[in-house]
Amino acid sequence: MTLLGKIFTVLIMIMSVMFMGFSIVVYATHTNWKEKSVELVKEVSVRQGVVDSVKADLDVQKERLEREQAARRFALASLQIRADEYSSRQQVAEGLLRDQQAENDKLTQSLVDAEDNMQKLTTEVTQLRVDIRDAQMAADEFFAQVLVLTDGNVQLEGEQIRFLEKNSQLIAQISRLTNVLTNNGLDENSDVTQVTPDVDGIVTAVAQETLQISLGFDDGLREGHQFDVYRGATFLGRIKILRIKPSTSVGEIIPEFRRGAIRKGDRVAKEVG
């Protein structure tokens, strides 16, 4: 066999295999239309039954809807009748309410007039009571004046005796005060505001060269007064009052008299010498 014959033989074999594959594919895709049509008829029959059932249900629902609509129209008509009846009753009630309101207005006005009259009468009664009380007080005062005038001489004599005793006491007190002024080198014209009062206090706060003490204007302190500061029996220094309040004062430490550090709680007393 020649080469060409071999080539044709191989090509024929390949073509045979190809045609055999095509045949198999065509057979596999072949459809039995008779059986398919029977299945389609069954499916159409089933679906027609479903459609008929749905139509029947739809008819039932329509009938039920019509009954409900008729019932609602009847209920609406009944409600409309009741609403008309209530509206008529409301109009009647409003008329009665207006009449009652007018009657109430009349009664209110009558009450106001009665209250005004009562207020006037109350004022008159109050004034009468005041007049009666004033008359009674005038009578009582007159009676008291009669009693005072009756006992006047006795009381005046007693007052004279008391005044004489008071005069003797004042003379003795003036004599004692004169001795005190004389012993302190003062007289009746001396400015006692410059005399440092004999009082004791404590240091309540310290800030550098100034401090605050527990004595003030109410204790007799004035600006310029000087006080000594002690801790126990130890002399710490002397201060001069700068500012005064009713119960506290602020003073400055006099440098030439400083003998130690002054702290809160130290005692403050009248300067010595």
| pLDDT digit string, tens, across residues 150-179 | 777 777 788 888 878 878 887 876 776 666
Return mean pLDDT, the chain. Answer: 82
Does residue 214 fall inside a structural domain? Answer: yes
For residue 58, give both structure tokens: 């739809």
Does residue 202 fall inside a structural domain? Answer: yes
CB proximity list for 236: less than 8 A, separation 6 or greater: 229, 230, 258, 259, 260, 261, 262, 266
Task: Provide the number of structural domains found in the chain.
Answer: 1
- For residue 210, give the CATH number of its domain: 2.40.10.340
Summarised one tens digit per residue, pLDDT across range 223-247 is 999 999 999 989 999 999 999 999 9
| Cα gap 264→273, rounded to integer Å | 25
Does residue 243 fall inside a structural domain? Answer: yes
Q: Is 204 exposed, middle or buried (0-12, 13-18, 19+ CB in 10 A)?
A: middle
CB 230 within 8 A of CB 201: no
Tell me the residue range of the domain where 212 lies: 193-270
CB proximity list for 269: less than 8 A, separation 6 or greater: 199, 200, 201, 227, 228, 230
Does residue 233 fall inside a structural domain? Answer: yes
Does residue 249 fall inside a structural domain? Answer: yes
Does residue 115 fall inside a structural domain? Answer: no
Does residue 215 fall inside a structural domain? Answer: yes
Whether pLDDT at 32 is above 70: no
Does residue 32 fall inside a structural domain? Answer: no
CB 201 within 8 A of CB 195: no
Tell whether pTM > 0.75.
no
